[in-house]
Every structure is written in structure tokens, then in C-alpha cells.
Amino acid sequence: MKQPRYWIALVCSLLWFASEMAVAQTMRVTLLGTGRPTPLHDKFEAATLVEAGETTLLFDAGRGASIRIWQLGMPLSEVDGVFITHFHHDHISGLADLWLTGWLPPAFGRRTVPLAMWGPEGLSDITNGLQAAYQRDIDIRVPDENLSREAATFDVTEFSEDGIVYDRDGVTVRAFAVDHGELIKPAVGYRIDYAGRSVLISGDTRYDENIARMGQGVDVLIHEVVTGRSALYEQYPELINIRDHHTTPEQVGRIFAMAEPRLAVYTHLVNLSAPGIPVVGNEELIEATRETYDGPLVVGHDLLGIEIGDTIAIFDRTKPGLEL
């Protein structure tokens, strides 16, 4: 007959294994940048990090993405791939920093392979341009710092149709077209699935029911939003064009209500204002959304973390252990 200590050890091992499996099957999302082109220190440009098992993917790379990743204590070389939603500069302005800083020898870098990227047709024009712009820097650093020239390149995958664009290690990423405006094409959103968990990122878009169709029953639906007071558009009619390229809270609420995610999250907060006309605050934003949606809702901020398992935990990644 086996000794009691054997059974204790076996039970502990099984509990540890179950715990490790549960962790391995969670997804973690971090909003690295929730702002727009306005140069604010507390709201960097569009960037969302998704960790699924052993895979780490970045969706858009706006200003400050590298800073936020390193704030998490994560070397830039741990980003396995970058997915671009469209080519407005506030979604790609941090790309050169991520690419080249991640290539450098200190602990924050050390990437030894090309930076893998996915995006709509036209992405290679951007990466080729970056290669040309920084070629002199690369030519100096390769012999001077004994760096890999190959790692200072890009591995680009372009696509032109909706469908699965990434399928590795149990993680799938599906791209789908969104409506960011008549002249702003291509523009896409992404749905990420792993181990029965799912996240949808809208990208920049006007009201588009395709997002609700693609996001049916996802765990977390992350959507952009535009706010502005009526007096703002009366005094500054030129801002109407910006508003009409995005989605109002009432419109996003309809998308959330149709998709029925476990958690709805706002990011890329296009808070329009002018002297004497203040921004719409978070409470007003939520109140406006409640006209069309009454489910779980969070207004994102930079470094908001979301852990998706049997339950969904929301926390500030700058303050370990603090749940919101």
C-alpha cells in the first residue's frame, strides 16, 4: 500500500498541473495606447498587446508602444508578430522604434530574427520605406555592435481578403474589413482566438455591423469611439469630418448589444474638444452608451490589463495585484 506522503505528493502535482493548464489557456490583453494623434504623455497612440499561451502579438504600433511594452518588463524581442489595421500614422508611428530598438543589444531588445508583420496590401511599402530611411543607421550598427543584419529587416505578410491570416500554436487571427471612410481603404479589424477564448479589436471604423457579426459571443470586444459636444460641431464644423470617420457611443452600444461579449471595452478614445468646450468625460461616455447597451463595459486607459479565463479580471498593469 502506498504511503500517505505519496498521495499528498500526487494530489499536489495534479493541482499544480491543473493550475498550469488553466494559466496556459488564458488570454491576456493590455491596452498600450488608447489615445489619438494628440501628443499626450498619458494617452499614447493606438496599440494593443495580446498574450495567448506562449504567443505575444501586437495590434497596431502607434507612438509609445515600445515604452509601454518595456513598462511591463517585457523585452521588445518577445513580440512574435505585429498586425496593422490601416495606414493612418497614429497606428504605425511607433513601428520604427519597435523594430530598431527591439534589435539593439541591451535587455530591452535582443531580437535576432526579422520583425514579423501582417497587414493589408500596402504594408510592404511602409516597411520598405523604413528600411531605406534607416539604412545608414543599420550599416553602422551591424559592424560596430556586431548585430545581425537579417534581424534589421521585416518579414511581411500582406492580405487582400477577409479570413484567417495567422494560425500558429493554437492561436488564430482572422482579419475582416471595416468601414473607416470612403477614402480610407484598406481598413481592417482582427479577431483572435485561443483555447476557447476570444478577443475582437475593431480598428478604426464607422458604425459597421460586420464587427457585431465577427464578434458574436466573444469574450472581449474592444472598440474605438468618438465623443464631442453638439456646440463643438456648431462652432468648428471641420470636426464633423473626423466624427463621421468614427463611431459614436450610441452606435457602438448597438454593436455591443448585437455581439453580446462577456466584456465590452473602449479604446482609441477620440475625445474632441476646443477652448471653452470640454471633452466628454468617462461617466458621460458610459451614460451615452447605456442608451443602446446595458452589458458589462469598461472605458480603457493606457496599461489597462484584461485577463480572460473562466472569469475576466481587469487590472492596472502598472500596479501588480491591483484589480479594478
Confidence of residue 15 (pLDDT cuts 50, 70, 90): very low
Asked whether residue 297 is assigned to any structural domain, the reply reads yes
The three cell numbers of residue 284 are 458621460
Asked whether residue 93 is assigned to any structural domain, the reply reads yes
Instruction: Indicate the residue type of 263.
Output: L
- For the CA atoms of 93, 94, 95, 98, the dihedral, rounded to the nearest 10 degrees, stands at 170
Instruction: Indicate the residue type of 303.
Output: L
* CA distance to 89, 206, 248, 271, per residue, from 280 (Å): 25, 19, 12, 7
Q: What pLDDT, on a 0 to 100 scale, did the predictor assign at position 317?
A: 80
Q: Residue 4: exposed, middle, or buried by beta-carbon count in 10 A (0-12, 13-18, 19+)?
A: exposed
Domain housing 38: 24-316
Asked whether residue 63 is assigned to any structural domain, the reply reads yes
Asked whether residue 37 is assigned to any structural domain, the reply reads yes
Can you tell me the mean pLDDT for 107-136? 98
Nearest CA among 231, 187, 229 for reference residue 208: 187
Asked whether residue 38 is assigned to any structural domain, the reply reads yes
**Alpha-carbon span 201 to 203, nearest angstrom:** 6
Interval 240-274: pLDDT, tens: 999 999 999 999 999 999 999 999 999 999 999 99
Q: Contact, 239 vs 272, CB < 8 A?
A: yes
Radius of gyration (C-alpha) of the chain in whole angstroms: 21
Q: Contact, 143 vs 136, CB < 8 A?
A: no
Interval 47-102: pLDDT, tens: 999 999 999 999 999 999 999 999 999 999 999 999 999 999 999 999 999 999 99
Asked whether residue 275 is assigned to any structural domain, the reply reads yes
Q: What pLDDT, on a 0 to 100 scale, did the predictor assign at position 145?
A: 96
pLDDT surpasses 70 at 320: no
Which DSSP symbol is given to 238? G
**Alpha-carbon span 79 to 99, nearest angstrom:** 10
In whole numbers, what is the pLDDT of the chain averaged over residues? 93
Q: How many domains does the chain have?
A: 1
Asked whether residue 13 is assigned to any structural domain, the reply reads no
Asked whether residue 311 is assigned to any structural domain, the reply reads yes
CATH number for the domain spanning 263: value is 3.60.15.10
